[in-house]
Structure 1
C-alpha cells in the first residue's frame, strides 16, 4: 500500500500558539484599521478549542491544478477573511484580523502519490487522519487545500478544503463553497438548495396564551439544563463518551451514503420530517452499536442512559446562496449566527423500529416549541462573556462538549449535481476536528443521497465503519417496517 506523504504542516499537539501570531501592538494601533474577532471567533482561539473545518470533496475527474488556483483566487477576492491573519496583543489580549499577502502556492498542497497502491480509499482516509493532528502555519491565513489525484471507489480525484473555525461557522463555509459552484447542467446557474428562500427556523408560533406559556416553559427548562451542563450535569459514561484530552487526539473521518428516497419514504409514511427520520436512525444505530460494545466486555447495557448531542442551530433570517457575497458585517450569511440545542437521544431497545422515529419526532416537536437556541446563545455568547470574561466563557463552553456524548448537525445540500472549483462533484463530506467531543456526526444531502460523515476519536470509537454499518442497517429495518405496515393496512 502506498504510504501517506509526510505533512510539513504537522505541529504536534494543537494549541493556541499554533494558530495565532503574538505581537505587542502600539497604543491605538489596529483600533480602526483592523477588525476585532467576534466573540464566536474568539472561542476557537481559547485553549482546548482549536477547531478546524475539513470538507472532503470527491470529483468525477482529476483536479486540474491551474483551474483550482483560479477559483481559489476568486474565493480570496470575494471573501477577504481568507487573506487575513490573526494577531493577538500579548499585553491586552485583544485579537484582530490583519490583512496579509497571500501566495496561493503556500495554501495549495499537491503531494506526489503512488498510483499503484493497494487501496486508494485507505490512503485518503489515512491522509485525512494525519491532518487531524496538525494545524496550519500561523504566519499565513488559516486555510489550505489538498489535492489528491488518485482514483477511489467513489471519485477520480479528491479535494480537501481545510480552514480554522474562527473564520466562520459551518453554514458560512457551505455558502461560500456553493457561491463558487455552478450546476453541472448549467455552468451559469447557482446550485439550488431545498430551503434556499427562507430560514430553517423551527420555533412554533405562539397563537394563544397557553401555547405562549408552553414556549416560555420549554425555553426555561432547556436553558436550565444547558446551564447545569456547563457546570456539572454529565452524560452516562458509556463506551461512546470520550475521555479528557480528546481534542488533541487523532481522528478517523469516514462516510456512508444512503438513499434520500428511503428517508423520504419513512418521512411521508410517519408524517414526520427528514430530520426526524435521521435522528431516529441515529438512535437505532446507537442502540445496535452500544449493545455490541457492551457484549465485547461481557457487561449488560445500563438502564436509563443519558446520552445527548450538542447541536449548533442556524439563527439566520436567510440561507440564500449569493455569488457576489463577501464576508462583511452586511453579509447575512457570513460569521457566527448560531445557537445551541442539547438533544437527548433515546438508545433503549425497541421491538418496533418505528418507535425510534416516533420518539425522535416527539422530542423535536418539543424543541420546536421553544426558544432554546436563542436563549443558549444569549447565555453562552453574551451574558457569561460580559460578566466573567472570555476565559470563563470558553471554559464553560468546553464543558458542554465534555459533558455530552457527541456533536450532531444536519444540513441540506444541493438538489442537483454541481461543479466545485470547476470540477463535477460526486459527493460532499463536511466535518470537524479539534472539538472536545469523541464523536461528531454531520449529515448532508446531495442530489439523491444522504451522507453520514463521522469524525471519530480513535480511542473512543475505534471502529467507526461498524458504526456506519449500524446506521445503514437501522435505516433498512425502519424502511422495512414501514413497508410491512403499509402492506398490512392495504
Structure 2
C-alpha cells in the first residue's frame, strides 16, 4: 500500500476548484491504529464485537482528508485486521488484488495465492457480439436499449415502492448494524446443478430473493402484494481479464486491467413472493433475469454514462446521479471471488475475509466474498429501518438450505 501512488497522495483542490491528487509524505503511524483492549466488553463473540466496531466506523468518524484516504485498524484482542479504504482509491478487484499480493499460501509460504482459480466448473458464456448470428445481435441491441433506458429513468425519478427495507435521501448518515450470513460453496454448487447452466451468482440472487421475501413476511405479514419488485444495484467488473489480477499488471498505466474503479452497474430486480413457494422457483427467476443482463451491454453503458457525465459536468453531477440511483433502488449487492485455499498474512493464518461498503443512502447493502470453500456475506443495514440484521442473515442461510433440499428431491425425481 505504501508503494502505490494513490495511497501516498492527498485529494486537493486548486484555485479554480478542480480536484486532483498531490503526492505527500506518508506517515504510517497516522494510518495504523492499534486497539489493544476488547472493543465491546459485554460481547464475548469476537465476530459480533468486530461487526459492531466496523458498523460504528461506517458513520461515526469519516476518513480525515489531511492524510491519504486509508487506515488499518489492528484489533489485537479479537485477532482481527480491518482495512478502511476510500472507494476513490480502487474498486473491489483492485483492493483484493493488493491484499493478495501481501499474502502467501499456507501450503507454500513462498508462493502468492492464485489470482484466478486453476480450474473453474462454470463455463464462461460467449459475449453476445461474438455469437455470429443476426438474432443474437438484435437481441443484444434490444436488451441493451431497454436496460439502459431503465437505468437512466432510475437515475432520475423512477423509484421502488417503499417497503420495510427501503432507505432514501439522508439514510447514509443513520446509525448502522452489521451481520454476517455464512454459506458453504459446496451447498451453492449443489443447488446450481439443479438447473442447467446455472452459476454461483444465479444462486446468490435466488437466495437474496427468497430471503428478502421471508424477511418481509416476518416484518409486514400480508402487507405486500405478490410479485412486488425490489431493485438491486450490482457491480460488474469490466476488465478484460475476469477475477483477481496480478498487482504488477494493475499498476501499469497502459494495462487493460489497470488500477482504479473499473466496474459497471446493472439493475437486478428481485420479487416478493409469499412463503410456501418452491424455493427453486426463486433460482429459476433469478437465472432468467441474470441471463438477460449478461446478453446486454448495460454494465458497459452505465460505466460510460458515468464517465461521460464526470468528463462534461464534473464529479459533483456524476455523484448526484449515482446518489439518486441509490435512493431510487432498494439494495446494493456484490460478489467477489477470493482465494480457493488457505492463506497467511505476515505469517498469520487467515480464517475469513469479509468486505463491506458504507455511506450509501440505501438501508441494505450486501457483499459476499468466497474463501477456502466458504462464502460469507456482510449485511450492513440502517438499524432504525432494519433492527434485526441477524434474522435477515438467517433468512438467507435458510433459503440456501431449503434450495439444497429441493435440489436433492428434484435429482431423485
Aligned partner of 1:461 in structure 2 is 386
Distance change (3 Å), C-alpha of 1:196 and 1:237 = farther
Are residue 390 (structure 1) and residue 315 (structure 2) matched?
A: yes
Distance change (3 Å), C-alpha of 1:160 and 1:114 = closer
Measured after TM superposition, the shift of residue 485 of structure 1 is 1.9
Query: Partners in 1 of 2:116 and 2:311 — Cα distance?
Result: 38
Contact persistence 1:200–1:314 (CA under 8 A): no
Query: Partners in 2 of 1:386 and 1:414 — Cα distance?
Result: 36
Aligned partner of 2:368 in structure 1 is 443
Contact persistence 1:180–1:323 (CA under 8 A): no
Which segments of structure 1 move beyond 6 Å, counting only runs of 4 or more? 196-202
Aligned partner of 2:96 in structure 1 is 174
Contact persistence 1:190–1:323 (CA under 8 A): no
Match for residue 13 of structure 2 among 56, 79, 88:
88
Give the alignment's TM-score, normalised by structure 1: 0.78
SS at match of 1:252: strand
Distance change (3 Å), C-alpha of 1:368 and 1:464 = same
Are residue 360 (structure 1) and residue 282 (structure 2) matched?
A: no
Distance change (3 Å), C-alpha of 1:231 and 1:258 = same
Contact persistence 1:80–1:327 (CA under 8 A): no
Give the alignment's TM-score, normalised by structure 2: 0.92
The C-alpha deviation readout for 1:190-225, integer Å capped at 9, x for no partner, is: 212445799988743332111100000000000000
Distance change (3 Å), C-alpha of 1:93 and 1:440 = same
Gaps of 5+ in 1: 1-74, 152-156
Contact persistence 1:414–1:446 (CA under 8 A): yes
Match for residue 305 of structure 1 among 219, 228, 243:
228
Of stretches 453-462 and 280-289 in structure 1, the one that deviates more from structure 2 is 453-462
Query: Partners in 2 of 1:158 and 1:325 — Cα distance?
Result: 29
Measured after TM superposition, the shift of residue 141 of structure 1 is 0.8
Contact persistence 2:194–2:410 (CA under 8 A): no
Are residue 314 (structure 1) and residue 314 (structure 2) matched?
A: no
Query: Partners in 2 of 1:320 and 1:275 — Cα distance?
Result: 16
Distance change (3 Å), C-alpha of 1:146 and 1:129 = same
Measured after TM superposition, the shift of residue 418 of structure 1 is 0.8
Match for residue 263 of structure 1 among 188, 192, 202:
188
SS at match of 2:62: coil
Query: Partners in 2 of 1:141 and 1:468 — Cα distance?
Result: 34
Contact persistence 2:252–2:258 (CA under 8 A): no
Instruction: Tell me how large the CA RMSD over aligned residues is.
Output: 2.2
How many residues align? The count is 403
Match for residue 251 of structure 1 among 176, 179, 182:
176
Query: Where do residues 189-338 of structure 1 align in structure 2 (5 Å cutoff)?
Result: 189-195=111-117, 203-204=127-128, 205-271=130-196, 272-295=198-221, 300-318=223-241, 319-325=243-249, 327-331=251-255, 332-338=257-263
Query: Partners in 2 of 1:174 and 1:486 — Cα distance?
Result: 37
SS at match of 2:172: helix
Contact persistence 1:201–1:315 (CA under 8 A): no
Aligned partner of 2:30 in structure 1 is 106
SS at match of 1:370: coil
Aligned partner of 2:297 in structure 1 is 371
Measured after TM superposition, the shift of residue 481 of structure 1 is 0.7
Contact persistence 2:94–2:245 (CA under 8 A): no
The C-alpha deviation readout for 1:367-389, integer Å capped at 9, x for no partner, is: 1111111111112221x334444
Aligned partner of 1:138 in structure 2 is 65
Larger Rg: 1
Match for residue 434 of structure 1 among 334, 337, 359:
359
Measured after TM superposition, the shift of residue 300 of structure 1 is 2.0
Query: Where do residues 16-165 of structure 1 align in structure 2 (5 Å cutoff)?
Result: 75-77=1-3, 79-89=4-14, 91-114=15-38, 118-121=43-46, 122-133=48-59, 134-151=61-78, 157-165=79-87
